[in-house]
Amino acid sequence: MEDTLIGTPEAQCRARPGGPIFLSWPQAGLWPHVEIFWDGDETEVQTSQSPKPYPSLQSVKGASLVGKAYRISPQPNAVAIQKRVQDWIRNCDETHTDCRPVVQNFPARLLDLQGSGADGIQLVQGFASVEYVALSHRWGDKPPCATTTDNIADRMSSISWSELAETFQDAVVVTRQIGIRYLWIDCLCIIQNDILDWKKESVKMGDIYRGAYLTIAASLTSGDDDKFLRPSREREVYAATRLQVSFREEAIPDLWIRTIHDFRLHSFYGVQEPLAARGWTMQERVLSPRLLSYTSAVTFECTEAAVCECGNGLFPDPHYPPIHMLQGLDNKHAFLNLLKKGNIKTMYALWMDMVTIYTGRHLSFNSDRHVAILSIAKVLADKYGDEYIAGMWRGDLINSLCWYRDDSSPTIHLGPRQAPSWSWFSAQGRVFRQDAAVEAYCEVMSLDVQDGGINDSGPARGSITLRAQAVTMILHMNKTCQGR
Ligand SMILES: [Zn+2]
Ligand SMILES: [Zn+2]
């Protein structure tokens, strides 16, 4: 339930049973949305049975007074957070039937974290069904400690701790903490200078993330020489401040106030996630059945749950600011539910939403637009049986042609050998779907596309011929338009 305490256009104050009180007042400038809570780690605070009806909180009909939440501690690997992570995963294992890994294409190699050598780490191969954790990370500018044909024999014997890049060391620490023996990291488990091995393994990439017991996202690291189990400026944004409150001259203990923690508000508060900026990592995030993210707080998302170390939920919640205020809205939850109980119409709509998010991310090579989202398209093609054509679905082709580009992006189009101009593959920058009911006025006369399909790794080429009603228009050019 939800009760509004103050409801004016200038200020909103909401509460829910057992949770924090949310306050927002847009005129407040930098700090417009805050939450007030009792510290959930301090067990002596029993808010639900609090005998003291404090005046400003008394009017919450039927709700408990201010509820519990957790302070975001500077250290993301604090013992209390480790325990919360273990509880989330155990709860998902025991009660969520749709969150199990989907094992279709097993990786050729894994890191065994109970292996030989002083640090107990080695590369192993030839498994077909063991539980493993996968890492989603950003490579950065310096090449990571890649496995090559020169060092693979040594690594099959043992890998020393100092050989591992800092991001990978942290991934080993977390994997061991949650009690899983095997870990998959792309640049260690695929032989980077062996073209055949790379081709064989890279096409499985989507399946490897779908088959993982858990995916760890090193969201804040901009390269593999950076740790993610460390204090960060991004966590500090959500540090809580103790409130000095008294009632009838009696101090009220342990009330805290902070900026509302909701990862959808990251861009609003200036928190940038290097991992979320990359085109290639979107399918790692979307396809993983369970994702443990080390971002401005530690968060866990699966088909049925989305929880955060701060104690709040992540997904649409009436107690959070309205959806139109949020940027960077995430589609992982919507995607997993689409596979569970969606229909093809909702798939078409969600696909173009994902294209908008995807095209807002950065790809080093614009020609990768086809391959870096292909694993998601494969899963949807399997589920819905529709044909995938250069980033669009045959059953929704006419509507999909009505895309438009973000005006702020540079106007660069790929050449016809890289992508047909009518496909969003050809455009630079973020692409949006134009909502227009054009199907009734238009039909496809012919379609000839090479590559760009679900089983193609190369860029798409091709042509399309449409028949549509025509409208006569007269365009008057004025001076300011001329020459543009
Ligand atoms: Zn789950
Ligand atoms: Zn949170």
Q: pLDDT band for 460, please (50, 70, 90 cuts).
A: confident
Asked whether the predicted pLDDT for residue 150 surpasses 90, the reply is yes
What per-residue confidence (pLDDT) applies to 480?
60
The larger pLDDT score, comparing residue 205 to residue 252, is at: 205
Instruction: Give Rg (Cα) of the chain.
Output: 25
Q: Which ligand is nearest to the CA of 302?
A: 1
AA letter at 28:
A
Q: Which of 159-163, 210-214, 235-239 has the weakest average pLDDT? A: 235-239
**17-41 mean pLDDT:** 68
Phi, psi of 342 (to 5 degrees): -90, 175
Distance between Cα 82 and ligand 2 center (Å):
15
Q: What is the DSSP letter of 90?
A: H
- CB of 232 within 8 A of CB of 218? no
Q: Kindly report, residue by residue over 58-71, the tens digit of the pLDDT.
A: 333 444 456 778 89
What is the model's pLDDT at position 187?
92
User: Distance, CA 67 to ligand 2 centroid (Å)?
Assistant: 15
Give residue 290 CA to ligand 1 midpoint distance, Å.
7
C-alpha of residue 438 to centroid of ligand 2, in Å: 42
186: CB partners within 8 A, 6+ apart: 135, 205
Whether residue 217 has pLDDT greater than 50: yes
Ligand 1 center from residue 319 Cα (angstroms): 23
pLDDT, position 186: 93
Which range is most confident: 61-75, 155-169, 326-340?
A: 155-169
**More confident: 285 or 169:** 169
Ligand 2 centre to CA of 295 (Å) is: 10
Q: What share of the chain is helix, strand, coil (3-state, %, to 5)?
A: 30, 20, 50
Distance (angstroms) between ligand 2 centre and the Cα of 86 equals 17
Q: For position 403, what pLDDT does the model report? A: 92
Q: What's the whole-number mean pLDDT along residues 407-422? A: 69
CA distances, 93 to each of 101, 164, 312 (Å): 11, 30, 21
Using the mean position of ligand 2's atoms as its centre, give its distance from the Cα of residue 307 in Å: 7
pLDDT surpasses 50 at 291: yes
Q: What is the model's pLDDT at position 329?
A: 44
The whole-number pLDDT of residue 318 equals 46
Q: Are strands 132-136 and 182-184 parallel, antiparallel or unpaired?
A: parallel
- For residue 208, pLDDT over 50 is answered with yes
State residue 6's pLDDT score. Answer: 41
DSSP 171-185: HHHHHHHTT--EEE-
- 337 CA distance to ligand 1 middle (Å): 12
Nearest-ligand number for the alpha carbon of 295: 2
Nearest-ligand number for the alpha carbon of 70: 2
Ligand showing the shortest atom-to-Cα distance for residue 94:
1
Ligand nearest to the CA of 20: 2
Output the pLDDT for position 338: 85
**Rounded distance from Cα 19 to ligand 2 centre (Å):** 12
Higher pLDDT, 202 or 134: 134
Check pLDDT > 60 for residue 301.
yes
Choice among 73-77, 272-276, 351-355 with the minimum mean pLDDT: 272-276
The ligand with the least distance to the CA atom of 300 is: 1
Gap from CA of 257 to ligand 2 centroid (Å): 13
Compute, in angstroms, the gap from residue 339 CA to the centroid of ligand 2.
26
Q: Specify the DSSP class assigned to residue 389.
A: E
Residue whose C-alpha is closest to residue 208's, from 189, 180, 224, 181: 189
Mean pLDDT of the region 280-305: 90
